[in-house]
Amino acid sequence: MDALLTEALNVLRRTGLDALLILAGAAVLGLLVYGAVHRGLRALTRGLEGTLPLRGALLRRTRGPLRMLAPVACVYLALPAVRASFSDTAQAVLDNGLQGLFVVGVAWALIAVLYAVEEAVSERYTTDVPDNLEARKIITQTRILRRIAATAIVAIAGGIVLMQYDPLRELGTGILASAGIVGIVVGVAAQRTLGDLIAGIQIALTQPIRVEDVVIVEGEFGWIEEITLTYVVVRVWDRRRIVLPITHFLEQPFQNWTRTSADLIGTVFLYLDYTVPVEELREELQRIVEASAHWDGDVVGLQMTDASERTVTLRATASAKDASTLWSLRCEIRERLVAYIREHHPDALPALRTRLDGPGEGERPARGGDA
């Protein structure tokens, strides 16, 4: 029995299968170690995810990259013991493959950490509360910086992996050396991308817009739904989406209704006859807004802002906590004021007056056929 086992091991050594089995065992050992460590960490943090959301997010997000890195690390540690069993070519393939997998795994893990941080920040700072200005600032910065960092990590990792292979490195060098025009074309093509990247960094730092800001852009009313490195998505009130290049918000004027606070003052214009009782309407407006659930208790007023040859213009102003509430308040004021005027002062509604003068004394009406 011992002889057979010895003979089998000799055959495996001659064919190199023993080295492959050792490396496979190292990979399996890495998976087992990862599984045990991950289960232990999950057990330790099971009751802390509510108070420490970053820990739970890290465990969820890094599960994939760590499941890849643990076997690669164990195989890399076991490789020196069986290196002599492989040819020079096989050794080079193994070295390059393991290094490439390790770089990809590390890049994947770093990106997972970035997503975990963004997830924890989103849980910590919610935007579904009335006073969410600080939360929107932090979430906007986190999302843009996460995208910038992830792009840089992918670019660096891809460059490191390609630099390990001489044919690819020589091919790139040969193309750039033999065709200088390619570098010019690539530079011109990348200028716009670099400009968008710089614009994204500038928006993250200066924050002319933030996620869930209320804006008027391209003549449309909507909310900032998403900010990427190259474009911004605006959610319009009727559920349409407007996609704009990120540089638009640095180069073109736009309205931001929640730049410093969400509360707003709205106006309602009424065009009425000169006989309208302005003071009575002012008192009625006060009663309307005080009874409304949309008013924030701050601003209310009624003023005559214009007078034409036929009507006067009354402007009612009132404030609300945000744009959506203000829209409802304006509609309520307009509807109830018009109903009040129609019911109590119908003569104050706009009217077209016509004056008919009869014939003067000693005159007679003109008749058809008179010479």
Point out the least confidently predicted range of 118-122, 169-173, 259-263. 169-173
Please state the rounded mean pLDDT for residues 268-281: 93
For the cut 90, the answer to whether the pLDDT of residue 303 exceeds it is yes
- Regarding predicted confidence, which is higher, 27 or 363? 27
What pLDDT, on a 0 to 100 scale, did the predictor assign at position 48? 56
Q: What tokens were used for 179?
A: 């065709």
pLDDT over 90 (residue 313)? yes
More confident residue, 348 or 174: 348
The helix/strand/coil state of 307 is strand
pLDDT digits (tens, 9 = 90+) for 3-50: 544 544 454 454 456 677 777 877 888 788 878 877 777 776 665 555
Q: Rounded to whole angstroms, what are the CA distances from 98 to 40, 93, 102, 172?
A: 27, 8, 6, 23
CB atoms closer than 10 angstroms to residue 136: 20
C-alpha pair distances (Å), 110 with each of 97, 116, 146, 223, 329: 20, 10, 11, 31, 48
Long-range contacts, stretch 300-306, CB < 8 angstroms, 24+ apart: 302/278, 304/278, 305/269
Residue 131: pLDDT band by 50, 70, 90 thresholds? low
Q: What is the mean pLDDT of residues 109-122?
A: 87
pLDDT digits over 104-115, tens only? 888 998 998 888
Please indicate whether residue 164 or residue 301 has the higher confidence score (pLDDT).
301
Per-residue pLDDT at 175: 41
Please enumerate, as own/partner, the contacts of 22-25 that have beta carbons within 8 Å and a separation of 24 or more. 22/78, 22/81, 22/82, 23/75, 23/78, 23/79, 23/82, 25/78
Q: Which two tokens stand for residue 180?
A: 């200088």
Enclosing H/E stretch for 290: helix 278-291
What integer pLDDT is reported at residue 167 of this predicted model? 62
> What pLDDT is stored for residue 180 in this prediction?
44
Average pLDDT estimate for 269-297: 93
Which pLDDT belongs to residue 357? Answer: 67
CA–CA distance, 265 with 270 (Å, rounded to integer) = 17
State the pLDDT at residue 80.
Answer: 76
Q: In 2-132, where does DSSP find H-type helix? A: 2-15, 17-45, 53-61, 63-82, 88-124
Q: Residue 130: which pLDDT band, with cuts at 50, 70 and 90?
A: low
Q: Identify the pLDDT of residue 217.
A: 92
Q: How far apart are CA 123 and CA 115, in angstroms?
A: 12
Cβ contacts of residue 156 below 8 Å, gap of 6+?
Answer: 107
Q: Which residues of 337-370 are buried (b: 16+ CB within 10 A; e: fewer)?
A: beebbeeebeebbeeeeeeeeeeeeeeeeeeeee
Render pLDDT for 182-227 as a digit per residue (tens, 0 to 9).
444 444 445 566 667 777 778 877 888 888 889 999 889 999 998 8
| CA dihedral sign of residues 178, 181, 184, 187 | negative
- pLDDT band of residue 262 (cuts 50, 70, 90) is confident
What confidence category does residue 268 fall into, taking pLDDT thresholds of 50, 70 and 90?
A: very high
Please check whether residue 193 is in contact with residue 230, taking contact to mean a CB–CB distance below 8 angstroms. Answer: yes
Residue 217: phi and psi, rounded to 5, are -140, 135
pLDDT at site 173: 45
Other Cβ atoms less than 10 A from the Cβ of 41: the count is: 13
Q: Is 271 in a helix, a strand, or coil?
A: strand
At residue 75, the pLDDT reads 82
Of 232, 195, 229, the C-alpha closest to 217 is 232
Please tell me the predicted confidence (pLDDT) of residue 40. 74
The pLDDT, as a whole number, for residue 8 is: 46
CA 174, 175, 178 angle in degrees (round to 5)? 75
- Rounded Cα distance between 164 and 158, Å, is 10
- Among 253-257, 276-280, 365-369, where is mean pLDDT lowest? 365-369
